[in-house]
């Protein structure tokens, strides 16, 4: 899945996009920002929370557990990585750095995270992960990720 919106998402709209794409994060957003059930996420002054929000609202509680499952939920992973693609599509170093450090590097924390994510990585996000694997000389991925047509599991 690629991101569905061709327009660049503003930093303060990332929470709204997260809750829309990955409703599994709604409760966490509500708790963090003291929102009532179904109250819209804040859209002002949240850009500075981007690093923290990516890891605390998406990566640790939703993405990594989904990737750790013996039978990963393909729909959930497509939505998570579609969201990540849209956030990464911005050309700002702040935004790309947040995705790199808070989402993509976390794929290396346990074997199943990386292996189960491969079928869902697309476009510039896939290219970045491939370069990261080569740079870190990750065993089995010294040449980066396989071509999409040869990726296993997807």
Residue 88 CB neighbours (<10 A): 21
pLDDT of res. 2: 43
Share of the chain above pLDDT 70, in %: 91
Q: Report whether 103 contacts 129 (CB < 8 A).
A: no
Alpha carbon 139 to its chain centroid, in Å, reads 23
pLDDT of res. 148: 81
Ranges of H-type helices in 34-119: 50-53, 64-68, 74-88, 93-99, 111-117
Q: Provide mean pLDDT across the span 87-116.
A: 94
Name the more confident of 7 and 15.
15
pLDDT of res. 7: 56
Which of the four pLDDT bands, split at 50, 70 and 90, describes residue 90?
A: confident
Per-residue exposure over 34-65, b if at least 16 CB sit within 10 Å of its own CB, e if not: ebeeeeebbeeebbebbeebbbebbbeebbbe
Q: Report whether 57 contacts 29 (CB < 8 A).
A: yes
pLDDT of res. 147: 84
Position 4 pLDDT exceeds 80: no
Q: Report whether 53 contacts 77 (CB < 8 A).
A: no
pLDDT of res. 64: 98
């Amino acid at each position: 899945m690629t991101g569905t919106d061709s327009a660049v998402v503003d930093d303060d709209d990332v929470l709204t996009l997260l809750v829309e794409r990955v409703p599994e994060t709604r409760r966490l957003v509500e708790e963090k920002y003291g929102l009532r059930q179904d109250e819209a996420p804040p859209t002002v002054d949240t850009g500075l929370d981007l690093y923290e929000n990516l890891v605390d609202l998406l990566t640790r509680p939703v993405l990594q557990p989904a990737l750790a499952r013996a039978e990963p939920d393909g729909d959930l992973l497509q939505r998570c990585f579609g969201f990540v693609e849209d956030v990464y599509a911005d050309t700002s170093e702040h935004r790309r750095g947040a995705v790199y450090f808070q989402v993509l590097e976390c794929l290396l924390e346990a074997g199943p995270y990386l292996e189960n994510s491969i079928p869902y990585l697309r476009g510039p996000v896939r290219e970045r992960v491939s370069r990261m694997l080569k740079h870190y000389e990750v065993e089995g991925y010294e040449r980066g990720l396989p071509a999409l047509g040869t990726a296993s599991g997807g």
